Structure 1
Amino acid sequence: MNAWGKVSLLGLSLALGLTMSACGNGSEANKDNTNASGGSGAAANTTGASDGSAGNAKQTDNSESANAEKFPVSYLAGEWGTVPKSNGPGVDAINEKFNIDFKPQIVPMGEAGQKVAVVMASGDAPDILDLEGADGNFVKWAKQGAFLPLNDYIDKYPELKLIPQSIWNAVTVDGKIYGIPKFFRTKYMNSAIIRKDWLDKLNLQMPTTYAELLKVAEAFTTQDPDGNKKNDTYGFSTSKGIDWDMRMGNYYNASSWLKDDQGGYMPGIITDGAKERVQFLTDAYKEGLVPKDWPVMDYDKASKLFYQGKAGIYYEGIPGNNAYWDLLQQSAPDAVVAPIPPFLAPDGSQGQPGLSGYYQLFALSGKLKDEPAKIDRILSMINYFMQFIPVEERNPNNADFDWKNGGVDKGYKYADGEATFPSDDTMKSYRPASYFHGVEWAPSDEDLHLETGLINPIQKSYVKATIAEWSKPNYVYIDPTFSIYSEKYNLKFWELYTKIADEETKIILGQTPMSDWDKIVQDYLKAGGQDMIDEVNAKIKEVGVEGTWK
């Protein structure tokens, strides 16, 4: 996936809410990451297994080493939110704690890609580069020697040792690790949600097949589920590009890579599961169970159909967009929203696609290779920021939490047992976390406690139900492409994905017959899809990974 610019199909609001909850420090990293093609070979000499809770590993305060040499440390990062003031009190705090002369350059995320390209072309890269992912440029620069290999350092830092081998693989090139991934969860990818109160009112059961889902969508459209005596509801909502494609589990997910009959992997968008999903959408459109103008409808309008109580099925992650949940509460105060469990697939699986487990990474300059003391100082700082602080300890009494966030009433507010992070420029400038985008490595996704701090009762009930649903065993599919880098994947996957989505739209609208499906798949393969599939499978074998359930 192209770093800095590729916006996930899954939306920004989910990941933003998650990161705020996970880090507790107000950093604004975001995005669900789909199959983003990481490194190009298995990492060597690393410890992938976690041997204890990250929250138990207290780090040494480097400010105690008053006689240590003071190093200049430059840093370049993109910022999704408001760029903090230059050289605020947060920078001074970093300098004092780690005995460095910290020189952060924070730029808007929309400008970051160009800025990175310029500094890399100039040969004057910063000591620490904050990248969105391990894309083709990352691999190219690593091979050119622009980044420091990190294999020999990982075991020296407790938090780095918590990173699983599969994630190290994603930032590995020719056996050398060139990046330090930042934590992101593997669970809670956006998935199907339903108005459970509508099901109950109409005496319907939770759907378990596409045939049952079609009947539920028909009832939601024709049987006045909101009781207002008007014909003004739809079974479900979606928007242009088939933003919500009604996938009911990993088997039906267009971007998952699934095993074929020969033991290799193929993209879900050309599988039998995709064909079944498209047939459902075609039938639903023909019966008027979705707005007729969805092919030109934007995401916001489609979303509001659900949150204004006019559609019964949609998709969401957790915790979701607070403003949308408040809109639903205003429109339907008694609404109950629940996740739709994934359908049992023909291959026997019954779960959801997972996320890659990381988003963004640190890369250290290759010019540091002869400065071991400076490398240690930088890695110690990264290690410190990765230290996980449990939700119940995120308060002014926790020295690490208080320091990262600039001090209570300076960098954050604390009231009624909850820390909040105002967007005020002055308060933001007090937070060290505003200037160095370290992300805490959580022991598990459950330790994020994404239900904490939610006020809206409909949203809170939904989040709790979703966490329970995703806690089932063998529920989350970890895609093998998370651990590899494929140039042809990067070049062709989304291009071909878009073409297939266009063809799916034509089928749904009745412009192309469903009988053309096999021809559409063959055209996909001839347009570079087969070459991409062959290379992806070769890389999967080279790294020695496979799709797994957890």
Structure 2
Amino acid sequence: MKSVGQKWLLPLLAFVLLAAGCGKEAGDDAASNSNASGTTALDNATSGATEDKVTEITVMSPYYQPEPFADDNVIKREYEKRTNMKMDVTLISSNNYEEKANVTLASGDIPDLMVLTDPFTPNVLTMMEQGAFWDITPYIKDYPNLAAYPADIWNNTKVKGKNYMIPRVRALDGDSFPIIRQDWLDKLGLPVPQTLDDLYNVMEAFTEKDPDGDGQKDTYGFTGSVDSDAMGNFVIFQNLFNNANGKWKLDGDKLEDTDLLPGTRDMLVYLNKAFTEGLIPKDFALMKTSQHEDQLKSNRAGIFNNTLNNINNIGVDLVKVAPDAQLMSPLYMISPNGAKMSIKGTGMAGALVIPKKTVSEQKLKAILAMLDYGGSPDGLMLKKGLLGVHIKEAECGYVDLPQKQLDNFGDIGQIFNGYDKYGRVPAAGAFVSCQQYADMQKLIDDRAQYSIGSPAVGLQSPTYNEVGPEYMKKIQDLKIQVIMGKQPIESWDKYVSELKADTKYQQISKEINEAYQDRFAK
């Protein structure tokens, strides 16, 4: 190997309550395999591999553990055995993986299978269009577990109508959405908010009515942090006001810039009022993620915006100071236009590519069959470890054994993936009962009908690459100034008018729309 016991509530009508303590990151625990096929391409002749001949491949992948897994790692060897493959894996620390990946791509000496943590950089997209990587579009149908990935994910990875990458899939639903202290709602006699007005009323009550019961005005309705060029945790308000997900909103067949829409102006007025009335921290614009998380963990804030699977980061510490703390998330919220909505993720965390110049079609098929096996029920189970060695059966799932940590195979999951629509639901175990896990699965099932995805995943604009970051920082800076009352809303109106008349800024919109149309071009 080369290496360079929490509190819960049951669902009520359109809502489901979430555990104060949750589990693993999305994609770390593909327990349900709900969309995985019982067969793989290894079961038929399309794999290109035979029983008596092992296919040898080179692989480049990041590692996130303190140490990379060894070449003779027991789980690596088991994947090789089951897929009739031999992988020569170069593992590179995630701290400098992108830099090393760029050097490797530029050299032209590309391994047979390569992980790209960001497959949408201009140079990678250019290489795809120039035919540097295999177009796997006509092959996907032959690999049942790859073919079972949701169409949204395959569409998000298209480049001019073709799929040159195999997405490292993650759950679509369960993405960032308001998480609310249910115990505070109950104490103050408040219903679960559905509209933005409802949400404001809850924020106000959580700030003014002493929900923690200490007799002091020391709590915030909502907390979060922002970025220098984006709204960070506060983006949920822009999304809700615009009934959108992110900077671009699909209107018919055209993408609209949400920063220029009336909903974003309304958001600024809304948050300015919240800031003025002390419903959000006065220093929110300077806070780091760890600081707003500390407010939540210390029982000083009642609403935040995060993914379901990350609730554990808050809840496991929160119950130490507030033993009766309970957390919930609405099934949906209602935008000002009356639409019920939730937020859908991109469904991917990077991708894998296969170079065409050095990989034959036979080897391509063997690699796809190997990845297809990784997405099968058996392949996903192996990602957890060997039964009786690394894991053991529990009441409804599995629990880790000490040998799992000793054998250090977690980063094999950077190569082998499979789609689990419940990937953002924490596994049943120490903090989540079997019934609660089932309740959260139902939340995911029900949320799918309301979730809105970003239509602009991976779309590139040459003009944006040149000047876009500067525009985004100026836009974000003015948003913060308006929210904090340092600039009137009229300053925002004036700037929006200027952006609409700015030919270079409008060129970004033109190019993003062209890229969107090209994505589905045949």
Normalization by structure 2: what TM-score? Answer: 0.82
Q: Report how far residue 372 of structure 1 moved.
A: 2.9
Structure 1 residue 344 corresponds to structure 2 residue 323:
no
Amino acid at match of 1:18: A
- Partner Cα distance (1:180, 1:485) in 2: 19
Q: Matched residues in 1 for 2:306 and 2:433: separation?
A: 13
Partner of 1:264: 254
Q: CA deviation at 1:299?
A: 1.2
1:418 matched to 2:418 = no
Matched with 2:59 is: 75
Structure-2 separation of matches of 1:532 and 1:15? 40
Aligned residue number for residue 12 of structure 2:
none
Partner letter of residue 176 of structure 2?
N
Question: What is the Cα deviation at residue 170 of structure 1?
Answer: 3.6
Say yes or no: does 1:533 pair with 2:504: no
Letter of the 2:173 partner, please give it. Answer: K
Aligned to 1:129: 114
Q: Which residue in 2 is equivalent to 1:407?
A: 386
Distance 2:337 2:185 in 1: 28
Structure 2, unmatched stretches of 5+, are: 1-20
**Would you say the 8 A contact 2:307–2:424 is kept in 1?**
no
Distance 1:493 1:192, change over 3 A: farther
The question of whether the paired residues in 2 share the 8 Å contact of 1:198 and 1:225 is answered with yes
Work out the CA distance in 1 between the residues paired with 2:435 and 2:464. Answer: 38
Amino acid at match of 1:516: S
Structure 2 CA distance, aligned partners of 1:499 and 1:22? 41
Q: Which amino acid aligns with 1:130?
A: V
Deviation at residue 402 of structure 1 after TM alignment: 5.7
- 2:29 is aligned to 21
1:201 aligns with 2:190: no
Query: 1:95 deviation in Å?
Result: 3.9
Is 1:385 the counterpart of 2:363? The answer is: no
Indicate if the aligned counterparts of 2:37 and 2:148 stay in contact, CA closer than 8 A: no
Per-residue deviation at 1:473? 6.3
Q: Is 1:116 the counterpart of 2:101 in the alignment?
A: yes
Residue 210 of structure 2 corresponds to 224
Among candidates 432, 440, 448, match of residue 418 of structure 2: 440
Report the equivalent of 2:492: 517
Alignment pair present for 1:243 and 2:221: no
Residues 191 and 315 in structure 1, CA contact (< 8 A), matched pair in contact too:
yes
What pairs up with 1:431-470 in 2 under 5 angstroms? 434=412, 437-442=415-420, 445-446=421-422, 448=423, 450-456=425-431, 464=439, 468=443
CA distance in 1, matches of 2:146, 2:438: 30
| Unaligned runs of at least 5 residues, structure 1 | 1-12, 26-51, 390-398, 546-550
CA contact (8 A) 1:278 1:508 kept: yes
CA shift, 1:192, in A, is: 1.1
State the 1:171 CA deviation. 3.4
Q: Which amino acid aligns with 1:334?
A: D
Letter in 2 for 1:197: D
In structure 2, relative to structure 1, the CA distance for the partners of 1:543 and 1:325 (3 Å cut) is same
CA shift, 1:187, in A, is 0.9
Give the distance between the partners of 1:436 and 1:233, measured in 2 at CA.
Answer: 40
Structure 1 pair 466–290 and aligned structure 2 pair: CA distance change class (3 A) = farther
What SS does the aligned partner of 2:279 have?
A: coil
Q: Which residue number in structure 2 is paired with residue 56 of structure 1?
A: 38
SS at match of 1:296: coil
Q: Does 1:183 align with 2:183?
A: no
Indicate conservation of the 8 Å contact 1:254/1:268, yes or no: no
Matched, 1:157 2:132: no
**Per-residue deviation, residues 473-532 of structure 1 (Å, max 9, x unmatched):** 630113322375544455555553333221111111211111112222234442843111
Measured after TM superposition, the shift of residue 87 of structure 1 is: 0.9
C-alpha separation between the residues in 2 aligned to 1:328 and 1:259?
Answer: 39
Number of aligned residue pairs: give it: 489
Deviation by residue 1:393-429 (Cα, 9 ceiling, x = unmatched): xxxxxx6556444524544455565132769664125
Report SS of the residue matched to 1:295: coil
1:35-46 superposed matches below 5 A: none
Q: Rate the CA distance shift 1:155–1:233 in 2: closer, same or farther, 3 A.
A: closer
Shift in Å at residue 104 of structure 1? Answer: 0.5
Q: CA 1:193–1:66 in 2, change beyond 3 Å: closer, same or farther?
A: closer
Q: How many angstroms apart in 2 are the aligned matches of 1:173 and 1:259?
A: 18
Q: Find the aligned partners of 2:393 and 2:275 in 1 and give their Cα distance.
A: 50
In 2, the alpha carbon distance for the partners of 1:346 and 1:291 equals 25
Shift of 1:344: 2.7
Query: For residues 130 and 285 of structure 1, do their structure 2 counterparts lie closer, same or farther at Cα, with a shift above 3 Å needed?
Result: same
**For residues 520 and 467 of structure 1, do their structure 2 counterparts lie closer, same or farther at Cα, with a shift above 3 Å needed?**
farther
Q: 1:328 to 1:279 in 2, by over 3 A?
A: same
User: Which residues of 2 match residues 501-512 of structure 1 at below 5 A?
Assistant: 501-512=476-487
Q: 1:246 to 1:421 in 2, by over 3 A?
A: farther
Is the partner of 1:352 in helix, strand or coil?
strand
What is the alpha-carbon distance in structure 1 between the residues aligned to residue 267 and residue 441 of structure 2? 23
Q: Is the 8 A contact 1:85 1:425 kept in 2?
A: no
Change (3 A) 1:454 1:527: farther
Give the TM-score taking structure 1 as reference length. 0.78
SS of match in other structure, 2:299: coil
Alignment check: 8 A CA contact 1:170 1:485 kept: no
* Structure 1 pair 112–527 and aligned structure 2 pair: CA distance change class (3 A): farther
Distance 1:178 1:164, change over 3 A: same
Deviation at 1:177, TM superposition (A): 2.6
Does the 8 Å CA contact 1:146/1:366 hold for their aligned counterparts? yes
Q: Which residue does 2:303 correspond to in 1?
A: 313
Aligned equivalents of 1:402 and 1:346: distance in 2? 44
CA distance in 2, matches of 1:105, 1:139: 23
The 5-angstrom pairing of residues 289-308 of structure 1 reads 289-308=279-298
Counterpart in the other structure of 1:10: none
The one-letter code of the counterpart of 1:258 is K
Residue 84 of structure 1, aligned match among 68, 72, 77: 68
Alpha-carbon shift at residue 58 of structure 1 (Å): 4.5
| Cα shift at 1:202 | 2.0
**Residues 325 and 456, structure 1, Cα contact 8 Å, conserved in 2:** no
SS at match of 1:339: strand
Kindly state the Cα deviation for residue 132 of structure 1 after the two structures are TM-superposed: 2.0
Displacement of 1:143 in angstroms is 3.0
- Give the 3-state SS of the residue equivalent to 1:496 in structure 2: helix
Alpha-carbon shift at residue 194 of structure 1 (Å): 1.8
Shift of the 470–531 alpha-carbon distance from structure 1 to 2, 3 Å rule, reads farther
